[in-house]
Amino acid sequence: MSLSRRRFLQTAAAVPLAGSWPRLATAEISLGSATLTTVSDGSLMLPGSFIFEPMPKDELAPILMDYGISDERLTPECNLALYRDGTNTVLFDVGSGPDFMPTAGTILDSLDAAGRAPEDITHVVFTHAHPDHIWGLLDEFDEPLFPDATYMMGRDEWNYWWDPDTVDTIGDARAAFAVGARRRMEVIEDSVQLFDDGQEILPGISAVPTPGHTPGHMSFEVRNESDSALVIGDAIGNHHVAFRKPGWISGSDQDGDMAAATRKVLFDRIMSEQMRIVGFHLPRGGLGRVDKGAEGYVFVPGDT
């Protein structure tokens, strides 16, 4: 494979920092003859209020204590799912890029560690268009980071962020989200493939509507032979309160009531079908299963 100008500059720029790269959390399972891996885009730094503001503080405190979580500062992982079936190499979301937070945007290093280059990605499938999921679309030349990929997004999600009124209706705190999403979507406007709820978008990959976090948020059932897993994006956004109290409204969701209803339905399906999951902000690589807890549910990371 030839070394592109982009890859040369990235490699040269990284040499002085080689000893200080962050640990790249990964996890991997086999799905029949295919492989589902998570690759890290680093982590976020968020005020606790971003999630906890609408929640009952007296009930919240003991839950956070159980998990050793601060109510002031959160540092969730960012885990992108990478699916390889021998024909397609599918990346779910593209991470933050360099312009969102200094602790995120490590996807190229993580792909390198997994033995993959941007040119290997055949398809990029978006769960939604928040900054940590789509701002990594462009490289430093404002060209698509994954030059040979087909880009795919749910029709409702695309239409929401493409609407020029969204920047005025999303609220001041998220207005930059809308501007940033639209700028990146304009680059792929003529080539993006849109899909609808329930559609099989690629062999073995079906869209599962999970709205609320954003209006068109989508999860994906990935199935190969008799094995399956669910890539859930931010539909279940953390391993603590979202699992213990899925009906609570989270400040991170654009439509809190809808997101809470979605979580309940999603947990019911995961439990009834005993599906493994990949969560974008879940710990230890984000891949694992769900158990019933004494109260609510428990995330069990790992490949079992």
- Per domain, the residue ranges of the chain are 23-301
CATH for the stretch 23-301: 3.60.15.10
175-225 pLDDT per residue, tens: 999 999 999 999 999 999 999 999 999 999 999 999 999 999 999 999 999
Instruction: Say which residues have a Cβ less than 8 Å from residue 204's Cβ, sequence separation at least 6.
Output: 34, 85, 222, 223, 224
Task: Report helix, strand and coil shares of the chain as percent, to nearest 5.
Answer: 35, 25, 40
CA-to-CA separations, 228 to 66, 133, 270, 278, in angstroms, rounded = 31, 23, 11, 11
26-69 pLDDT per residue, tens: 789 999 999 999 999 999 999 999 999 999 999 999 999 999 99
111-157 pLDDT per residue, tens: 999 899 999 999 999 999 999 999 999 998 999 999 999 999 999 99
Give yes or no for residue 6 having a pLDDT over 80. no
Q: For residue 280, give both structure tokens.
A: 């974008």
Residue pair 285/25 in contact (Cβ under 8 Å)? The answer is: yes
What does the pLDDT read at residue 27? 86
75-84 pLDDT per residue, tens: 999 999 999 9
What does the pLDDT read at residue 8? 27
Number of neighbours of residue 256 by Cβ within 10 angstroms: 16
Give yes or no for residue 174 having a pLDDT over 80. yes
Q: For residue 230, give both structure tokens.
A: 């669910």
